[in-house]
Structure 1
């Protein structure tokens, strides 16, 4: 099976294990910083990670890379999903314990209502080539969080992202042009 077929198969049967997602990630080709430039639409790649479902529930739309030093790492849909806005990751409570029913539509309302406070026009991340799991690939480095998002290519318009968080299992997501 090719890496693209493996990706399609695993995505269809998510959640998969973290080990399966890592094996898939390792089988994919690395990406250059130049290949990242542009708007990417995001979706989740569930692995049983505590964050699974959270991005979708909050209205996460994706990421925008204007240059290696000008990155909006968190784009969210507005209330009617007609446009997106950038959020400053420094203002997002990443470790906030949420109740079991937290993966609900009200989370999107919290993000959209919080836009005046959390929204930003400033770039809050950058792209660099880094080595992760023995392979050098484009990596988005958050300015205010100990988080690196490493990207590998599924095909010309699809990437598998692996969020490397300090002291946590990797979190996986998909970006599409």
Structure 2
């Protein structure tokens, strides 16, 4: 990866070549901020593995992405059932504190039951807000969870792609993900 690579190429290299927290942060820091009002709509998510305890688990669980309807109306977790139905999940019902204790294969097995669990997990209420906050020296879009000590920050890779980093209180290593606008 050279300094002249386009951010999209740099991100692809990290995805396919194995990223570390340091290389993901270096790309994140080099990207321009995106404003909260610029990211409305539904965004498809995928993980950027860096050795974080959550790596692979959101994908295995059926995570689909995020829905930004406006600054006060954000669905931070969209999931997809095995038959493709997409729905918003209340983040309080996801055991994030057990992330490092549950193996990916167990999460994957549980995902097969997501259609059955949907009524218990589903929410129609927004569970986060968008704000423009300073993070790592730049002011940009941040998604603040309503009831969890988590803030997701976003930087623009290209016109339809964001690199996100999840900052969770009590977890030293940030978790990285990619969002593509639908």
Question: TM over 0.5: same fold?
Answer: yes
Deviation at 1:161, TM superposition (A): 0.4
CA separation of 1:65 and 1:100: change in aligned 2, threshold 3 A: closer
Deviation at 1:13, TM superposition (A): 1.2
Q: Which runs of 5+ in 2 are unaligned?
A: none
Q: Which runs of 4+ in 1 moved over 4 A?
A: none
Correspondent of 1:3 among 7, 11, 20: 7
Report how many aligned residue pairs link the two structures: 175
Correspondent of 1:55 among 51, 54, 58: 58
Q: Once structures 1 and 2 are overlaid, which stretch shifts more, 131-140 or 94-103?
A: 94-103
* Residue matched to 1:93: 95
Is the 2:60–2:104 Cα contact (8 Å) retained in structure 1? Answer: no
Alignment of 1:2-151 (within 5 A): 2-14=6-18, 16-81=19-84, 83-96=85-98, 98-100=101-103, 102=105, 104-151=107-154
Is the 1:54–1:103 Cα contact (8 Å) retained in structure 2? Answer: no
* Residue matched to 1:164: 167
TM-score by length of 2: 0.91
TM-score by length of 1: 0.93
